[in-house]
Structure 1
């Protein structure tokens, strides 16, 4: 028994099956993860190693960066290794291939580090490993604001209580606290008193560290009871530290720490500042793991922030900003609305063709079941709801009606010809269409098979849209051969008035088409020639189209970067930042800017700006950025540039310069930046290399130093301690109280409402820092007079060393074991291929010495690689379609006639792309591959009908009858495929660049192909099969 007959005879069973599908689909829908795009980013692991003593960048490169490169460069699936060496810090970023398992990769990294830990410089601390890339943007920020407590109180709250909570969220890699000064216990040593008592800094550090400790002495038995013996020496109060005995004087009196130093609870000098809309604040920046779901992480952070806001009391609250999940939600909702509007339009056009509401009921019922089937299959395939799977569903929403339309239209034709409609008629009409429906669905699905030959990144990006369309077609096939015959038997069989499906307008249109087809067939050679000329012309147009990877969506957020000369003090940078903030504040007062979050460091700053929703403001993001750029371009000596979030593809184009000598690389970068800046349309051209930091070099006379038993390490460690400070131990305050460092008083828990009792319960250890008083570490002269206590006596630094002032590289970048400097530029809306072509041209003016070279960054490489692979996939798709058609029609020539509908589609697609100046990106190429599978469907149905009719009529008569007879289903299926995609073209949104190229390729291509197929295919059939 065939499927249509089974469905007609067992309606209850069919309803139970589809009810089960619907139930599973609803459950699947609520469990599908949501994201902006499929996860195509490569897994990244960052290894950060801090080095005590302020080791310079060149020394870190030599002793640490190269060591890590040698031992990590052969890890499985590693693509690139990047190292950044700067004073006191080294960062290694490992970028992996898409197929890499990041858990295994992280484990392998830890094993490699464990093997080489003994080779690290002894000043190096234990490496910290994060699963995110160097320089990545935070995905969300939580800002603490209070109208009662200081930023220092808020920082303590964040460090001791909040940070740990955010780090527990799954997918969070790092929580960075900016703003407020760090609380420390400061031991400010008096250099003169140290000299008077002949004490060295190291002695002080050793005594303080050894005194703040609790030790277990063992156990002792006394009268049958075993006692644990403990020696308790930890500091309980600051007074305990002050009264610590350091030495016995020659007179026999105790010299206490307070006699040679000022001991106080204080704050370190601010290293970074944070503000929200001008107001001082503390911000926690959240970074996600490289492969974590942005939406899930942001939602969890947002929920926790709102929960904490209610716990913090009336004086303190949290504000969530930089939330990248908002754009994801907005883009997904826009697609959902487009899908709904498109489905309504498709049903509306069907009613115009069929003019029978009962038929619309049958087709309308098939849509939700098919879509729920798609969600069920997506859940089983572990796909996510994202812009591409929903775009595929928008296309599939029309295509899933195609098969039902063909079956239903054939049922109608049978009813028109016989004047009746029984179970046998419905089953026969459905079975007649099963082969062409199967063929058209198979050719649509088969075009996605070549995607297995492209790289993993493209597979991950577009496998979702391919599978969502495939699942739609599978659902369409099942619904058309089971649910549609079943519903037709229950709903349509009772009504046999054939006049309802015939309209004068459509009959006139069909008559006009028959006359025009007869004319074309009479002059078929001329018409086919004209069509061929059209195809060849569009091929020339295609060569003129610019190339791109993926269009960058326009968001409602951007970041202002402020770069200051190396060595600039924090307060100087802050003054420039305040001027920039004043310009942004003007837009906030105009309700264009929602809020802005500022982060200031000594040499640089970032202002993260969030605009109000686009429908509530008068200016687009590009206008705001351009106006701000004009206002800030004269703020010397700052270099200010602007960037938008890189959700999919950055608007930046990178040029990477490789070589050995950093000074030569610097000169080459300056020349390259100068020429690149001359290219019209490029903005924010910058060299990603900091100017050398001002440096006072201490040239140690090693032979003279050895006479006093001093090594370079001893000298460096002492200088570090006296100038920057060393940490001998940590102070653990009593749990029942906390220290207010501004007044050095204790407050009992519960005496105040709000923030204080909350974090005082969780107060952690406070570092004790020992260093010279500020008055002894201000000038070069103070440095020269630093002394060392040795067995041979006391010696000053100027007796064993010389001094030299110069510049040291502040940062040294290496990529794949070569030194590198990057030059970047913002290309805005310019096509990547055009920009790359012009950069190649201008860089011919820069002469690179032997051993020095340049190449484009990853975005250009991806574009070139993916363009080649997708073109190859398109050719393979055509071959697969031909193989399928040849086997179904058991003919070698008819599939070639069917395939002519593909170049005919190119006439519409390429012409529109050229007129709209749309670059050829991944979306356009995938749209072309999809089009190859879709446009052949009309030709398949047409040729199948001709094959059946020519057994009864002459060839010309069969062609005319088949073409006129299949006109209505062809127009209906084309309309229902195009209409759901129209909202994607008409409604311009921030996320449109993600899906518009695909729709811009499919809609005009399908429209042109449908019109021309109705004439070209019959003409070719008559030409090749006329006896």
Structure 2
């Protein structure tokens, strides 16, 4: 009944477990975003970025500060250590910023501190198209009025954000010549419009027994009323109406970007979920509501969901769940094959559901979620769940065959192996203990997997020592016959088993007499494997073929949005002709309203990005399609086209700087950094396999620089800030006020006419109103020159950085990294400049240090446990010395399957340590038991080998078959665990040889030497 209660509580807990793609984790990263409109990158760097960096640099816990200064905006990124209380850090950062707020420019925006949280990114992307293409300008407004409110009201939706399309606004386009004639400045017009469009309370009066409110009603009710606004008076004191010096009309905001889906322009709605809500449930609710809206407005709009995070969540979890079930089934079938009866495997099968379902209860109590890591942990440990039961059942069956009653055999067998299997489970638990306590990304990501495996193994241990003996005893005193032995197939299996047993005893006896040959053979294999290690690729995390890739397009600097759009359209046409292509989503230019979209790369109407989604039925891998398509468009008329395979979500989170090669050149002078960077980029591009190399200072922006004459400005009484504000309003435009019509608000933008802001000469003729009331032209107080400036300036700490990035294609990444390292060692840099790796190599080095620490700590803890158990310092040392030899199986397997050394495969090696030690400990236990029965050492060694032969084959077989579906990557979401599964399977194969031959031979000669030494003493 106790286990039935656990199953009931586990099923209830499973219902309440939150389903996510990844474990809940607090990312230790803050970004400070500061707007400084119309400022060049160097001004942003000097006036905003540097003061902010210096101010927040003393915040406790910061590991790295980096920044990016772009036109009109500053990004300062603070990287803290994992496990840092990021909310407290954010408060401290805000306090530091408040202390220096007074020294920042007055017209700079307030610095915004944001947390990096991928779980709060959009869970769905919906694209909308008009049915009537002639009304495409009205699409955004329609979605805002009729669609957005319904999507916002869906349970669990925090925000439905619109982007793309045309944003309606009211334009006031002034005539400079009329302004000059009336001695009016654009600032005068702005002030008049702002002060006119207002309703204001004026108090109240008592009318009889009632109070009556009084309000002034000045708000514009229609854009035509703006024409009547008084902006000044002429010399005859006659009011000058705004309509006489400006054109006022409805229009659309000047666009800096647009989006297309399969070649058709669209409006995008991004869905963000509320914190803590189930991604799958929210997505299904949004999809249902969207279908209703599509039907309701089928004559107006068309819509399609082009991205849905829940699809990846459901598919990944469904695939891993399927592999968990299929792995358990394969393990069960292997037991039938080995035991050749149905009763024993069915008894062992009870371990599986009880362990898994009770694990759900423990996960709920520990506040874990169902995700690819926790379910991946269960699928990896599925075969291991049978291990303890295998040993217990084998001991019981052996005692039954030796003449004990089933009840006595159940009690004796369980007691006999209780110590060894408890030690074995604790060994595996100890293996994962260091991972749980690691502070870095490894501990955060693999911690939940380690806990899940630990929970399931501890439950399986309890079941094996209590429920399995009880169920075995319930079978009564009937003979434990192998009922399937009568079948011809199982007769052959029995023959094979006897043959294996005979050959094993013969082989072990033979090698006990020829230890030098055996150890020489093992040593040769190990040396060969050490040589082969250099041929195994090394990367941070396994590369996953998502079936998607991005194309980054750079047009000529200064190109218009329409010019870049034409180039993108040519590529879209070529892509859509490819039968492997399913969807093409293009983003040309950038969205001014979404400030975060401007960080991390070159921004402007000359750049674009295309995301290509390939068909699931494609005949070639994504990297092969990229290579073929790159050759097809190599003569495209653009400055640069760069291809980037789209990463899975886990990779984006664990390795955001995911370029295969990232070099960071530090120094102070931008021109020198650009020169060095260009040389480095050219040289590494010659290395075979390097593609898509880029420099962050690759090109400069053409710009007009307005240099103010301090003497003339003093004469006129003008300031830099005042002149900069007039320039911005005249050229880009300023939202002077907002017009409210039928519950909708529209920006009222004030600027010069298009014809008066096209050329350099037009800038010179911008009208300035001096404090004395005179109107002068800008060139009377400033000089306008043509110059160049960089699009963005990167810094790490207090040093400027030129970041060189590149991809690797069709060759091993580690080989390319080695060649780049050799080049860097030969590179001579000027004094004050240095170059180092960043990005993925930095992640690999950091993570491998963490995993190596976990590995060493796990080995030390296991040694301490075994030393205490066996009351010996030497015996555990022999067991642990065999651990490196599992590489004999692992390295060839990684090479054959094309897998790499990464955090997943290295975790598999750590897991193997426990399995190898468990087998050795079980063997030594039986050696001690047989020696206690007064048999010779050699007989004890051979007898123990015979006893553990079947448990080891059963344990390793169930674990291997349980992992097989994961290793074969039979579905999406399993690629991350696949290298771990391949490592464990190949290591298990090697451990069979180690456990059945190397360990017995080593123990035989060490124990023989010990006994001889004792007799001598």
Q: Normalized against structure 1, the TM-score is what?
A: 0.89
Cα distance, 1:767 vs structure 2: 1.2
Cα distance, 1:916 vs structure 2: 4.8
- Residue of structure 2 aligned with 1:668, choices 648, 664, 676: 676
Gaps of 5+ in 2: 486-490, 591-604, 1012-1017
Counterpart position of 1:1001: 983
Distance 2:399 2:981 in 1: 36
Cα distance, 1:499 vs structure 2: 7.5
- Residue of structure 2 aligned with 1:508, choices 488, 499, 503: 499
1:75 matched to 2:59? yes
**Residues 636 and 950 (structure 1 numbering): CA distance in 2 closer, same or farther, change over 3 Å?**
same
Distance 2:157 2:834 in 1: 38
Counterpart position of 1:188: 173
Cα distance, 1:604 vs structure 2: 0.8
Distance 1:292 1:837 in 2: 46
- Residue of structure 2 aligned with 1:316, choices 298, 301, 309: 301
Distance 1:122 1:456 in 2: 40
Distance 1:883 1:33 in 2: 38
Query: Could you give the per-residue CA deviations for residues 46-91 of structure 1, whole angstroms, max 9, x where no partner exists?
Result: 3332234x12221121111112112222233333333222222222
Secondary structure of residue in 2 paired with 1:76: coil
**Residues 890 and 299 (structure 1 numbering): CA distance in 2 closer, same or farther, change over 3 Å?**
farther
**1:908-987 mapped onto 2 (5 Å cutoff):** 908-916=889-897, 918-952=899-933, 953-987=935-969
Distance 2:280 2:88 in 1: 25
**Residues 898 and 66 (structure 1 numbering): CA distance in 2 closer, same or farther, change over 3 Å?**
closer
Distance 1:200 1:814 in 2: 40
1:734 matched to 2:742? yes
Counterpart contact for 1:671–1:846, Cα < 8 Å:
no
Query: Could you give the per-residue CA deviations for residues 30-49 of structure 1, whole angstroms, max 9, x where no partner exists?
Result: 33344444467843333332
Counterpart contact for 2:10–2:359, Cα < 8 Å:
yes
**Residues 774 and 450 (structure 1 numbering): CA distance in 2 closer, same or farther, change over 3 Å?**
closer
Counterpart position of 1:107: 91
**Residues 538 and 772 (structure 1 numbering): CA distance in 2 closer, same or farther, change over 3 Å?**
closer
1:768 matched to 2:748? yes
Secondary structure of residue in 2 paired with 1:82: strand
Counterpart contact for 1:514–1:960, Cα < 8 Å:
yes
Counterpart position of 2:610: 607
- Residue of structure 1 aligned with 2:769, choices 761, 765, 789: 789
Cα distance, 1:651 vs structure 2: 4.5
Cα distance, 1:569 vs structure 2: 1.0
Counterpart contact for 2:341–2:483, Cα < 8 Å:
no
Distance 1:290 1:549 in 2: 29
**Residues 411 and 248 (structure 1 numbering): CA distance in 2 closer, same or farther, change over 3 Å?**
same
**Residues 312 and 125 (structure 1 numbering): CA distance in 2 closer, same or farther, change over 3 Å?**
farther
Cα distance, 1:377 vs structure 2: 2.0
Counterpart position of 1:760: none
Distance 2:112 2:96 in 1: 14
Which range moved further: 453-462 or 368-377?
453-462
Which range moved further: 175-184 or 796-805?
175-184
Distance 2:834 2:288 in 1: 49
Counterpart contact for 2:643–2:692, Cα < 8 Å:
yes
- Residue of structure 2 aligned with 1:257, choices 242, 248, 251: 242
**1:338-377 mapped onto 2 (5 Å cutoff):** 338-377=323-362
1:267 matched to 2:247? no
Secondary structure of residue in 2 paired with 1:966: helix
- Residue of structure 2 aligned with 1:332, choices 317, 329, 334: 317
Cα distance, 1:529 vs structure 2: 4.1
Distance 2:140 2:905 in 1: 49
**Residues 85 and 1017 (structure 1 numbering): CA distance in 2 closer, same or farther, change over 3 Å?**
closer
Distance 1:920 1:291 in 2: 35
1:199 matched to 2:181? no
Query: Could you give the per-residue CA deviations for residues 472-518 of structure 1, whole angstroms, max 9, x where no partner exists?
Result: 21011111111112222224645554777894442333223222222
Distance 1:312 1:96 in 2: 48
Distance 1:311 1:866 in 2: 53
Query: Could you give the per-residue CA deviations for residues 762-812 of structure 1, whole angstroms, max 9, x where no partner exists?
Result: x2x211111222222222333322233332633222333322111122222
1:18 matched to 2:36? no
Gaps of 5+ in 1: 1-15, 736-762
Counterpart contact for 1:188–1:263, Cα < 8 Å:
yes
Distance 1:556 1:915 in 2: 23
Secondary structure of residue in 2 paired with 1:567: coil
- Residue of structure 1 aligned with 2:711, choices 703, 707, 710: 703
**Residues 598 and 297 (structure 1 numbering): CA distance in 2 closer, same or farther, change over 3 Å?**
farther
**Residues 687 and 507 (structure 1 numbering): CA distance in 2 closer, same or farther, change over 3 Å?**
same
Cα distance, 1:236 vs structure 2: 0.9
Counterpart position of 1:864: 845
Distance 1:171 1:115 in 2: 38
Counterpart position of 2:642: 641
Secondary structure of residue in 2 paired with 1:823: strand
1:242 matched to 2:236? no
1:1024 matched to 2:985? no
Distance 1:186 1:123 in 2: 24
Which range moved further: 675-684 or 619-628?
619-628
May I ask how many residue pairs the two structures share in their alignment? 977
**Residues 132 and 505 (structure 1 numbering): CA distance in 2 closer, same or farther, change over 3 Å?**
closer
Counterpart contact for 2:586–2:608, Cα < 8 Å:
no
Distance 2:178 2:815 in 1: 70
Query: Could you give the per-residue CA deviations for residues 671-695 of structure 1, whole angstroms, max 9, x where no partner exists?
Result: 1110111111121111123622222
Counterpart position of 1:551: 542
**Residues 505 and 527 (structure 1 numbering): CA distance in 2 closer, same or farther, change over 3 Å?**
same
- Residue of structure 2 aligned with 1:93, choices 56, 77, 92: 77
Counterpart contact for 2:341–2:482, Cα < 8 Å:
no
Counterpart position of 2:562: 571
Counterpart position of 1:738: none
Cα distance, 1:151 vs structure 2: 3.6
Distance 1:26 1:570 in 2: 56
Secondary structure of residue in 1 paired with 2:932: coil
Counterpart position of 1:281: 266
Cα distance, 1:721 vs structure 2: 1.8
Secondary structure of residue in 2 paired with 1:94: strand
Cα distance, 1:657 vs structure 2: 1.5
Secondary structure of residue in 1 paired with 2:383: helix
**1:281-680 mapped onto 2 (5 Å cutoff):** 281-285=266-270, 305=290, 309=294, 312-418=297-403, 421-451=405-435, 454-491=438-475, 493-497=477-481, 503-542=494-533, 545-587=536-578, 590=579, 592-601=581-590, 602-613=605-616, 616-646=617-647, 647=649, 648=651, 649=655, 650-680=658-688
Cα distance, 1:845 vs structure 2: 5.3
1:691 matched to 2:696? no
Distance 1:133 1:394 in 2: 28
Secondary structure of residue in 1 paired with 2:402: helix
RMSD value, Cα: 3.0
Distance 2:274 2:820 in 1: 34
- Residue of structure 2 aligned with 1:807, choices 769, 776, 788: 788
Distance 1:156 1:1004 in 2: 60
